[in-house]
């Protein structure tokens, strides 16, 4: 019986060692997925961009002006996000490439229609990452 117990302990040790060598730790794998998930950690509207930062930040803009949406993105190396501008039935989409884990990017739109506008940012799978609103008067 002692010999059988030694074989079982040896087999268990081999299984554990193989799991460690090939990274079969489900808790670590889940943490890696969470850490790599793309997120919009900040979003702002303004009239221009200077040195990769929003300038003249505001949420109300004059008719026929160009509005910039500035975004700070984390966890999205080599991914693409979509910025969708919506005013009533009017929609416009822009694709932005994310080049690093902490990335600043922006899109702009000439707003030729008054009213409330919504900007929705989605990942490549269509999941909403951020939604922002502004007004054109």
Q: Would you give per-residue pLDDT tens digits along the chain (137 residues)?
A: 566 655 556 655 555 444 444 554 444 444 344 345 899 999 999 999 999 999 999 999 999 999 999 999 999 888 999 999 999 999 999 999 999 999 999 999 999 999 999 999 999 999 999 999 999 99
The domain 37-136 having CATH identifier 2.70.50.60: the answer here is yes
Whole-prediction pTM value?
A: 0.73
Which pLDDT does position 17 carry in this prediction?
Answer: 44
The full set of domain ranges for the chain reads 1-36, 37-136
Instruction: Label each residue of the chain as H, E or C.
Output: CHHHHHHHHHHHHHHHHHHHHCCCCHHHHHHHHHHHCCEEEEEEEECEEECCEEECCCCEECCCEEEEEEEEEECCCCEEEEEEEEECCEEEEEEEEECCCEEEEEEEEEECCCEEEEEEEECCCCCEEEEEEEEEC
* Predicted pLDDT of residue 4: 62
């Amino acid at each position: 019986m002692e010999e059988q117990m030694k074989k079982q302990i040896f087999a268990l040790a081999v299984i554990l060692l193989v799991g460690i060598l090939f990274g079969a730790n489900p808790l670590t794998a889940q943490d890696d997925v969470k850490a790599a998930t793309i997120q919009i950690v900040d979003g702002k509207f303004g009239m221009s961009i200077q040195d990769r930062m929003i300038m003249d930040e505001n949420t109300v803009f004059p008719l026929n002006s160009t509005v910039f949406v500035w975004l700070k993105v984390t966890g999205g190396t080599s991914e693409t996000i979509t910025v969708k501008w919506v005013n009533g039935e009017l929609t416009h989409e822009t694709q932005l490439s994310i080049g690093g884990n902490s990335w600043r990017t922006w899109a702009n739109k000439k707003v030729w229609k008054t009213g409330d506008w919504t900007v929705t940012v989605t990942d490549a799978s269509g999941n909403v990452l951020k939604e922002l609103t502004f007004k054109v008067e």
